Amino acid sequence: MKIAIAVTVVSLFFLTIACQTSEKNIPPVTNTTTNSTNTSTTTTTVKPSSQEIYDTFVRLTLKNSAGTAAITIRKWLPTKTQIKVYWDGGRTTALMSALDKVMADMNVLNKYNKMLRTEVVAEADIIINRVEAATHNSKYASYQVSNSSVQGTTFTQWTSDAITKAIVWLSPTTPSNLQNGVLRHELTHTLGIGHTDNTKSIMIPIMSNTNYDFNSFSVLDQRIIQILADNRVKQGSSEANISAIIKEYAAK
């Protein structure tokens, strides 16, 4: 079964997560969704080449949603030692376990920002909401889901210094065997990571749960998260500023 992270739902076999980028002045908010409908699949365990790692990092973190114009790094401050995640509506026992697994995987790869659950919404840095789009929109007026046919949307709020907040909307109609992939994909967006067409990454428009293990990160995705988490990679960095650091990880 394949999961399409695209702008329209084709069928039960092709599911979507919207992808377009819009920004506001203060604070800027990036709305991350996708509109590709290709039929690529991911491969979790295949080791990527050094060039693949370099190119994919640039595409995921240093290019706009169209993959054309250059942008600069956006990330949580390394000094923010805890990123607290609150699950609002639509939680299930299985999904909370999946969330714990994604956070644990991220925490192994990022020694600065540790994700943990909170039951206090007021202290949350990331809020996950799995309800009908209309219900979400009535509660989170600043984070409107514009296309309810997609399977997930991530709104990342940031200032000139760092990412400060993220709201993740998940469709309550996603089949249970694909929910973990959507959750892992969307939570990865909250780190400041966009989309790529590299089929070894969970951040592609279409994922296959026969080729990508939704319960872990691929080798490529591990490297991308590690590079972004490196304290030498700063918010606002350009490719020229961090090219040597990317190459260092790519060579591992």
pLDDT tens-digit series, residues 31-79: 565 433 334 456 677 889 999 999 999 999 999 888 889 999 999 999 9
Question: Sign of the C-alpha dihedral, residues 128, 181, 222, 75?
Answer: negative
163-170 and 152-158 strand pairing:
antiparallel
Comparing 182 with 5, the larger pLDDT belongs to 182
Q: How many domains does the chain have?
A: 1
Domain hosting 42: range is 2-250
CATH of the domain at 229: 3.40.390.10
3-state helix, strand, coil in the chain (%, to 5): 30, 20, 50
Look up the pTM and report it.
0.87
Alpha carbons 89 and 230: distance in angstroms, whole number? 33
Name the token pair of 83: 């990123």
Residue ranges of alpha helices (H) inside 151-201 are: 176-189
Task: Give residue 233's identity as a one-letter amino acid code.
Answer: V
